[in-house]
């Protein structure tokens, strides 16, 4: 044993248990840092990132409240608000509360909201007839919001799933979701919404030919000004799970929606869907879900150059919100990063449950 005291102890004992493998008594030598040789670089991309002002100067994309559409869930019954368990921070609202939130949207600079009803199970049937009732939840909300908050854009969803007892977007004949028969009902649903004051009809059902049929129906009743935002490329996605809870169709859904919603493996097909909807008269197109499909957003925008929207859907929202709730990620930062990603991909606007929070954050200069 030498007399030199150990410089670093690995804890416990005197090192004798390590005998033969590591001599604890040897002083540890810290190597001298090698002399730094300057790199001969012409380009140093970091120069443009050196300070906040420099980063702002070269920033390519900006997010503003003008880019946001806020989807809102409606409910009937006595309670004014109730939490959606699978969507932390999102609530179902009574018509009265929806009017209040519509006012908030305007004060935050959000141009439009999108309405989705949680229809009482007693009002659902196999044909989704409630969708055509003049005083259904969505139509009552449209009328109330239009009367009190006229300057706000109102987007309504055309599809039968909030109204059917089987949770499908169309009519079921045996196991099949039938196309043409469904389209006829969707036209009536769109007209019902337009009469209630909807500004933008947003068919999310993915039936073939529905945009042309809805356009024709609207024009025949003098609704030439009502826009159509088609869910043109809507995928059969697992990320819709929390939404189906929110509107109460999740537990009801029989099977899946793969005979009408798109296969997540396909990209070219999305372009064909968009081309058809544009030819049929869509004013704006949408890709859905959002972040997992940014390649589609980019391709649609580049190919057609039309107003292109992306839907950051419920599951995408909940992943961020739930991780933030656990302290695993910074919720505000992840929210803003996800939203600017849509802009970078070429989206003109984003449907997102973060809309009020993001608009407030933008106002606060976050
Ligand atoms: C239904 C519809 C869905 C969404 C919007 N409209 C769900 C579905 O197709 O099952 C999903 C929105 C979201 O997940 O946030 N026509």
**Out of 14-28, 47-61, 256-270, which region has the weakest mean confidence (pLDDT)?**
14-28
Task: Kindly state whether residue 75 falls inside one of the protein's structural domains.
Answer: yes
Task: Kindly state whether residue 342 falls inside one of the protein's structural domains.
Answer: yes
C-alpha 319/C-alpha 304 separation (Å) is 31
Quick one: pLDDT at residue 23? 62
Q: 16 exposed, middle or buried (CB, 10 Å; 0-12, 13-18, 19+)?
A: exposed
Query: In ligand 1, which atom is closest to the CA atom of 167?
Result: 10
Span from the CA of 243 to the centroid of ligand 1 (angstroms): 6
Quick one: pLDDT at residue 22? 57
| Closest residue by CA, ligand 1 atom 12 | 313
Task: Kindly state whether residue 34 falls inside one of the protein's structural domains.
Answer: no
Task: Kindly state whether residue 4 falls inside one of the protein's structural domains.
Answer: no
H or E element in which residue 228 lies: strand 227-234
Residues with CB under 6 A from ligand 1: 157, 159, 161, 169, 204-205, 240, 243-244, 257, 313-314
Told to judge if 254 belongs to the known catalytic residues of this protein, a careful annotator would answer no
**Res. 141: pLDDT tops 80:** yes
In this structure, what token pair is assigned to residue 295?
A: 């390649």
Share of the chain above pLDDT 90, in %: 88
C-alpha 209/C-alpha 211 separation (Å) is 6
**Res. 2: pLDDT tops 80:** no
Model confidence, pTM: 0.90
Q: Who wins on pLDDT, 218 or 21?
A: 218
| Among 75, 146, 254, 288, the one annotated catalytic | 288
Task: Kindly state whether residue 146 falls inside one of the protein's structural domains.
Answer: yes
Quick one: pLDDT at residue 9? 45
Share of the chain above pLDDT 70, in %: 93
* pLDDT confidence bin for 15, thresholds 50/70/90: very low
Place of tokens 């012409």: 42
Contact 288, 235 (CB under 8 A): yes
Q: Which domain holds residue 236?
A: 62-363
Place of tokens 């739930």: 322
* pLDDT confidence bin for 181, thresholds 50/70/90: very high
Q: Which of 109, 130, 111 is nearest to 119 (CA)?
A: 130
Contact 311, 358 (CB under 8 A): no
Task: Kindly state whether residue 55 falls inside one of the protein's structural domains.
Answer: no
Place of tokens 């989807």: 71
Mean pLDDT of 256-275: 98
Contact 92, 246 (CB under 8 A): yes
Quick one: pLDDT at residue 353? 98
**Res. 265: pLDDT tops 60:** yes
Told to judge if 257 belongs to the known catalytic residues of this protein, a careful annotator would answer no
**Res. 8: pLDDT tops 90:** no
Quick one: pLDDT at residue 205? 97
Span from the CA of 240 to the centroid of ligand 1 (angstroms): 6
Q: Who wins on pLDDT, 254 or 324?
A: 324
**Res. 237: pLDDT tops 60:** yes
| Closest residue by CA, ligand 1 atom 7 | 240
Task: Kindly state whether residue 167 falls inside one of the protein's structural domains.
Answer: yes
pLDDT digits (tens, 9 = 90+) for 59-110: 999 999 999 999 999 999 889 999 999 999 999 999 999 999 999 999 999 9
Quote the Cα angle for 358-346-157, to 5°: 65
**Res. 19: pLDDT tops 50:** no
**Res. 157: pLDDT tops 70:** yes
Quick one: pLDDT at residue 108? 98
CATH number at residue 327: 3.20.20.70
Task: Kindly state whether residue 217 falls inside one of the protein's structural domains.
Answer: yes
Q: How many domains in the chain?
A: 1
Span from the CA of 59 to the centroid of ligand 1 (angstroms): 33
C-alpha 162/C-alpha 104 separation (Å) is 26
In this structure, what token pair is assigned to residue 171?
A: 């009519």
H or E element in which residue 287 lies: strand 284-288
**Res. 161: pLDDT tops 80:** yes
Quick one: pLDDT at residue 29? 79
């Amino acid at each position: 044993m030498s007399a030199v005291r150990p410089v670093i102890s690995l804890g416990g004992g005197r090192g004798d248990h390590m005998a033969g493998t590591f001599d604890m008594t040897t002083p540890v030598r810290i190597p001298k840092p090698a002399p730094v040789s300057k790199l001969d670089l012409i380009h140093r991309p970091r120069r443009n990132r050196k300070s906040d002002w420099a980063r702002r100067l070269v920033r390519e994309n900006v997010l503003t409240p003008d880019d946001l559409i806020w989807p809102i869930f409606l409910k009937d019954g006595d309670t004014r608000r109730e939490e959606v368990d699978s969507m932390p921070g999102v609530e179902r609202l009574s018509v009265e509360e929806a009017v209040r939130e519509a006012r908030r949207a305007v004060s935050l600079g959000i141009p439009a909201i999108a309405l989705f009803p949680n229809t009482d199970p007693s009002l659902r049937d196999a044909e989704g007839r409630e969708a055509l009732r003049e005083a259904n939840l969505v139509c009552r909300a449209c009328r109330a919001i239009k009367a009190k908050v006229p300057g706000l854009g109102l987007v309504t969803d055309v599809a039968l799933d909030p109204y059917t007892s089987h949770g499908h977007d169309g009519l079921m004949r045996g196991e099949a979701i039938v196309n043409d028969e469904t389209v006829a009902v969707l036209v009536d649903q769109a007209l019902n919404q337009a009469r209630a004051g909807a500004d933008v009809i947003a068919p999310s059902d993915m039936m073939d030919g529905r945009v042309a049929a809805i356009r024709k129906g609207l024009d025949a009743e003098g609704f030439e000004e009502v826009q159509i935002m088609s869910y043109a490329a809507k995928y059969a996605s697992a990320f819709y799970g929390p939404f189906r809870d929110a509107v109460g169709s999740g537990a009801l859904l029989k099977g899946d929606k793969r005979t009408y919603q798109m296969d997540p493996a396909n990209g070219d097909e999305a372009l064909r869907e968009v081309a058809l909807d544009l030819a049929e008269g869509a004013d704006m197109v949408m890709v859905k879900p959002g972040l997992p499909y940014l390649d589609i957003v980019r391709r649609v925008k580049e190919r057609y150059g039309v107003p292109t929207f992306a839907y950051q859907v419920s599951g995408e929202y909940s992943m961020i919100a739930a991780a933030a709730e656990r302290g695993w990620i910074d919720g505000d930062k992840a929210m803003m990063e996800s939203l600017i990603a849509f802009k970078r991909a070429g989206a003109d606007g984003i449907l997102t449950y973060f809309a009020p929070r993001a608009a407030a954050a933008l106002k606060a200069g976050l």
